[in-house]
Amino acid sequence: MVKIIIIALDPPPNVDEVEWIENRFYELNGLVSGFKIGLPAVLKNGLESYKRIFKDYKGLLIADFKLADIGDIMSMSAEIIKSYGFNAMIAHSFVGYSNAIDKLSKKAKDLGLKLILVVSMSHEGSKEYIDGHLNDFLQIAVKANAWGVVAPATRVDVIRNVRSKVGKDIKILSPGVGAQGADFGSAICNGADYEIIGRSITGAENIKEKATQIIKTIEERVKICRGLQ
Protein backbone atom coordinates (compact mmCIF):
# COMPACT_ATOMS: atom_id res chain seq x y z
CA MET A 1 0.00 0.00 0.00
CA VAL A 2 1.49 3.34 -1.06
CA LYS A 3 1.25 6.09 1.51
CA ILE A 4 -0.64 8.96 -0.07
CA ILE A 5 -2.84 10.45 2.57
CA ILE A 6 -2.31 12.82 5.44
CA ILE A 7 -4.75 12.72 8.31
CA ALA A 8 -6.16 16.02 9.59
CA LEU A 9 -6.57 15.56 13.33
CA ASP A 10 -9.25 18.10 14.22
CA PRO A 11 -11.07 16.92 17.35
CA PRO A 12 -14.75 17.90 17.44
CA PRO A 13 -16.25 19.78 20.41
CA ASN A 14 -17.09 17.87 23.58
CA VAL A 15 -14.44 15.18 23.35
CA ASP A 16 -11.28 14.69 25.32
CA GLU A 17 -8.99 16.06 22.60
CA VAL A 18 -5.86 14.30 23.77
CA GLU A 19 -7.53 10.90 24.02
CA TRP A 20 -9.27 11.46 20.66
CA ILE A 21 -5.99 12.25 18.94
CA GLU A 22 -4.09 9.47 20.64
CA ASN A 23 -6.68 6.87 19.56
CA ARG A 24 -6.62 7.99 15.96
CA PHE A 25 -2.84 8.21 15.86
CA TYR A 26 -2.47 4.61 17.08
CA GLU A 27 -5.17 3.33 14.70
CA LEU A 28 -3.72 5.02 11.63
CA ASN A 29 0.03 5.19 12.24
CA GLY A 30 1.66 3.01 9.59
CA LEU A 31 -1.20 3.38 7.09
CA VAL A 32 -0.70 7.03 6.22
CA SER A 33 2.04 9.49 5.20
CA GLY A 34 1.51 11.75 8.14
CA PHE A 35 -0.70 13.73 10.46
CA LYS A 36 -1.71 17.36 10.56
CA ILE A 37 -2.57 19.12 13.81
CA GLY A 38 -4.60 22.31 13.68
CA LEU A 39 -6.00 24.87 16.08
CA PRO A 40 -8.97 22.83 17.38
CA ALA A 41 -6.47 20.39 18.87
CA VAL A 42 -4.29 22.92 20.62
CA LEU A 43 -6.33 25.93 21.67
CA LYS A 44 -7.58 24.28 24.84
CA ASN A 45 -4.74 21.94 25.80
CA GLY A 46 -1.69 23.57 24.27
CA LEU A 47 0.96 21.53 22.51
CA GLU A 48 2.54 19.92 25.56
CA SER A 49 -0.14 17.24 25.91
CA TYR A 50 0.56 15.87 22.42
CA LYS A 51 4.35 15.73 22.57
CA ARG A 52 4.36 12.28 24.18
CA ILE A 53 2.01 10.80 21.55
CA PHE A 54 4.15 11.75 18.54
CA LYS A 55 7.54 11.41 20.28
CA ASP A 56 9.00 8.65 18.10
CA TYR A 57 6.93 9.28 14.96
CA LYS A 58 8.98 9.29 11.78
CA GLY A 59 6.30 10.35 9.26
CA LEU A 60 5.17 13.84 8.34
CA LEU A 61 3.98 15.75 11.37
CA ILE A 62 2.52 19.04 10.22
CA ALA A 63 1.73 22.02 12.43
CA ASP A 64 -1.22 23.62 10.67
CA PHE A 65 -1.54 26.95 12.43
CA LYS A 66 -1.65 28.75 9.08
CA LEU A 67 0.91 31.33 10.14
CA ALA A 68 0.19 34.78 8.69
CA ASP A 69 2.27 37.48 10.34
CA ILE A 70 5.47 39.46 9.94
CA GLY A 71 8.53 37.29 9.40
CA ASP A 72 10.09 37.76 12.85
CA ILE A 73 6.96 36.65 14.65
CA MET A 74 6.30 33.71 12.34
CA SER A 75 9.90 32.68 12.94
CA MET A 76 9.31 32.69 16.70
CA SER A 77 6.31 30.43 16.17
CA ALA A 78 8.45 28.18 13.97
CA GLU A 79 10.95 27.73 16.83
CA ILE A 80 8.14 26.64 19.14
CA ILE A 81 6.66 24.35 16.50
CA LYS A 82 10.04 22.67 16.07
CA SER A 83 10.54 22.30 19.81
CA TYR A 84 7.32 20.28 20.03
CA GLY A 85 8.54 17.71 17.53
CA PHE A 86 6.84 18.84 14.31
CA ASN A 87 8.80 18.44 11.07
CA ALA A 88 6.57 20.60 8.86
CA MET A 89 4.46 23.74 9.20
CA ILE A 90 1.85 25.55 7.15
CA ALA A 91 1.86 29.31 6.53
CA HIS A 92 -0.23 31.60 4.35
CA SER A 93 1.54 33.05 1.33
CA PHE A 94 -0.70 36.14 1.18
CA VAL A 95 1.52 37.93 3.71
CA GLY A 96 4.06 38.35 0.89
CA TYR A 97 7.73 37.56 0.53
CA SER A 98 9.67 40.54 1.89
CA ASN A 99 10.10 40.49 5.64
CA ALA A 100 7.57 37.72 5.88
CA ILE A 101 7.91 34.44 3.96
CA ASP A 102 11.58 35.12 3.16
CA LYS A 103 12.39 35.16 6.88
CA LEU A 104 10.17 32.20 7.64
CA SER A 105 11.76 30.23 4.83
CA LYS A 106 15.24 30.90 6.19
CA LYS A 107 14.13 29.94 9.70
CA ALA A 108 12.52 26.74 8.39
CA LYS A 109 15.76 25.83 6.66
CA ASP A 110 17.83 26.51 9.79
CA LEU A 111 15.48 24.41 11.91
CA GLY A 112 15.07 21.59 9.38
CA LEU A 113 11.31 22.20 9.12
CA LYS A 114 9.43 21.66 5.87
CA LEU A 115 7.65 24.84 4.82
CA ILE A 116 4.20 24.42 3.26
CA LEU A 117 2.44 27.49 1.85
CA VAL A 118 -1.27 27.89 1.23
CA VAL A 119 -1.76 29.09 -2.36
CA SER A 120 -5.46 28.32 -2.76
CA MET A 121 -8.15 27.00 -0.43
CA SER A 122 -10.90 24.43 -0.66
CA HIS A 123 -13.85 26.60 0.38
CA GLU A 124 -15.88 28.80 -1.99
CA GLY A 125 -14.52 32.02 -0.49
CA SER A 126 -11.10 31.22 -1.89
CA LYS A 127 -12.41 32.48 -5.23
CA GLU A 128 -13.25 35.90 -3.75
CA TYR A 129 -9.66 36.96 -3.19
CA ILE A 130 -7.04 34.22 -2.85
CA ASP A 131 -7.47 32.53 -6.22
CA GLY A 132 -7.06 35.82 -8.09
CA HIS A 133 -3.50 35.93 -6.76
CA LEU A 134 -2.58 32.32 -7.36
CA ASN A 135 0.31 33.14 -9.68
CA ASP A 136 1.79 35.60 -7.18
CA PHE A 137 1.53 33.01 -4.42
CA LEU A 138 3.17 30.37 -6.57
CA GLN A 139 6.05 32.73 -7.30
CA ILE A 140 6.48 33.23 -3.56
CA ALA A 141 6.44 29.46 -3.00
CA VAL A 142 9.13 28.92 -5.63
CA LYS A 143 11.26 31.83 -4.41
CA ALA A 144 10.96 30.64 -0.81
CA ASN A 145 11.98 27.12 -1.78
CA ALA A 146 8.84 25.81 -0.14
CA TRP A 147 8.70 22.06 0.35
CA GLY A 148 5.00 22.05 -0.46
CA VAL A 149 1.86 24.03 -1.22
CA VAL A 150 -1.76 23.51 -0.25
CA ALA A 151 -4.21 23.49 -3.18
CA PRO A 152 -7.86 22.40 -3.20
CA ALA A 153 -9.27 19.02 -4.23
CA THR A 154 -12.60 20.83 -4.62
CA ARG A 155 -11.23 22.68 -7.69
CA VAL A 156 -8.95 20.29 -9.54
CA ASP A 157 -8.32 22.84 -12.30
CA VAL A 158 -6.39 24.81 -9.66
CA ILE A 159 -4.27 21.74 -8.81
CA ARG A 160 -3.48 21.21 -12.50
CA ASN A 161 -2.56 24.86 -12.86
CA VAL A 162 -0.32 24.71 -9.78
CA ARG A 163 1.43 21.58 -11.02
CA SER A 164 2.04 23.11 -14.44
CA LYS A 165 3.66 26.17 -12.83
CA VAL A 166 5.75 24.62 -10.04
CA GLY A 167 6.94 21.48 -11.81
CA LYS A 168 7.79 18.36 -9.85
CA ASP A 169 9.96 19.96 -7.17
CA ILE A 170 7.19 21.20 -4.90
CA LYS A 171 4.74 18.82 -3.22
CA ILE A 172 1.04 19.54 -3.57
CA LEU A 173 -1.07 18.73 -0.51
CA SER A 174 -4.74 18.71 -1.22
CA PRO A 175 -7.65 18.97 1.23
CA GLY A 176 -11.31 18.79 0.24
CA VAL A 177 -11.92 15.11 -0.50
CA GLY A 178 -14.66 13.32 1.42
CA ALA A 179 -16.37 15.62 3.89
CA GLN A 180 -16.02 18.68 1.62
CA GLY A 181 -17.40 16.84 -1.39
CA ALA A 182 -14.49 16.05 -3.73
CA ASP A 183 -14.00 12.41 -4.76
CA PHE A 184 -11.25 10.37 -3.15
CA GLY A 185 -8.34 10.18 -5.58
CA SER A 186 -9.44 13.17 -7.62
CA ALA A 187 -6.65 15.43 -6.34
CA ILE A 188 -3.90 12.89 -6.94
CA CYS A 189 -5.28 12.15 -10.41
CA ASN A 190 -4.92 15.85 -11.19
CA GLY A 191 -1.37 16.26 -9.97
CA ALA A 192 -1.42 16.36 -6.16
CA ASP A 193 1.07 14.32 -4.12
CA TYR A 194 -1.08 13.85 -1.04
CA GLU A 195 -4.75 14.06 -0.16
CA ILE A 196 -5.41 15.56 3.27
CA ILE A 197 -8.34 13.75 4.86
CA GLY A 198 -10.01 14.57 8.14
CA ARG A 199 -13.57 13.91 9.14
CA SER A 200 -14.44 11.15 6.70
CA ILE A 201 -11.84 9.01 8.42
CA THR A 202 -11.49 10.48 11.91
CA GLY A 203 -15.28 10.50 12.41
CA ALA A 204 -15.83 6.92 11.26
CA GLU A 205 -16.95 4.19 13.61
CA ASN A 206 -14.14 1.89 12.56
CA ILE A 207 -11.34 4.29 11.78
CA LYS A 208 -8.76 1.80 10.57
CA GLU A 209 -11.19 -0.04 8.34
CA LYS A 210 -12.46 3.22 6.86
CA ALA A 211 -8.94 4.47 6.17
CA THR A 212 -7.96 1.19 4.51
CA GLN A 213 -11.07 1.30 2.35
CA ILE A 214 -10.47 4.93 1.31
CA ILE A 215 -6.81 4.28 0.49
CA LYS A 216 -7.88 1.34 -1.68
CA THR A 217 -10.43 3.54 -3.46
CA ILE A 218 -7.73 6.16 -4.12
CA GLU A 219 -5.26 3.56 -5.38
CA GLU A 220 -7.83 2.07 -7.77
CA ARG A 221 -8.84 5.46 -9.07
CA VAL A 222 -5.23 6.51 -9.56
CA LYS A 223 -4.45 3.30 -11.46
CA ILE A 224 -7.30 4.08 -13.83
CA CYS A 225 -6.45 7.75 -14.31
CA ARG A 226 -2.79 6.92 -14.94
CA GLY A 227 -3.81 4.32 -17.50
CA LEU A 228 -2.33 1.40 -15.55
CA GLN A 229 -5.55 -0.54 -15.62
Instruction: Enumerate the active-site residues.
Output: 64, 66, 69
Angle, CA 207 vertex, CA 22 and CA 83 arms, to 5°: 30
Binding mask 125-164 vs ligand BMP (x if CB under 6 A, - otherwise)?
A: -------------------------x-x------------
Report yes or no: 64 and 37 within 8 Å, Cβ to Cβ. yes
Handedness of CA 149, 108, 46, 84 (dihedral sign): positive
Residue 111's closest CA among 90, 93, 86? Answer: 86
Rounded alpha-carbon distances, angstroms, from residue 7 to 35, 74, 110, 126: 5, 24, 26, 22
User: What is the number of residues in the chain?
Assistant: 229
Binding mask 82-121 vs ligand BMP (x if CB under 6 A, - otherwise)?
A: ---------------------------------------x
Using the rule CB under 6 A, give the single segment among 22-30, 101-109, 135-143, 174-182 that binds ligand BMP. Answer: 174-182
What are the backbone angles phi and psi of residue 61, rounded to the nearest 5°?
-125, 105
CA distance 115 to 49: 24
Query: CB-wise, 122 or 186, nearer to ligand BMP?
Result: 122
> 148 in helix, strand or coil?
strand
Least CB distance to ligand BMP at residue 6 (A): 9
Distance of CA 102 to the CA centre of its chain: 20
Least CB distance to ligand BMP at residue 98 (A): 24
Report yes or no: 203 and 20 within 8 Å, Cβ to Cβ. no
Query: CB-wise, 78 or 118, nearer to ligand BMP?
Result: 118
Among 11, 148, 185, 198, which residue sits at the site for ligand BMP (rule: CB under 6 A)? Answer: 198
Q: Does 64 bind ligand BMP (CB under 6 A)?
A: yes
Among 38, 71, 148, 191, which residue sits at the site for ligand BMP (rule: CB under 6 A)? Answer: 38
Report yes or no: 173 and 116 within 8 Å, Cβ to Cβ. yes
Q: Does 11 bind ligand BMP (CB under 6 A)?
A: no
Strand partners, 148: 116, 171
Q: Does 4 bind ligand BMP (CB under 6 A)?
A: no
Q: Does 191 bind ligand BMP (CB under 6 A)?
A: no
Binding residues for substrate: 10, 36, 122, 198-199
Residues in contact with ligand BMP by CB under 6 A are 8, 10, 38, 64, 121-122, 150, 152, 175, 178-180, 196-200
Binding site per annotation, positions: 10, 36, 122, 198-199
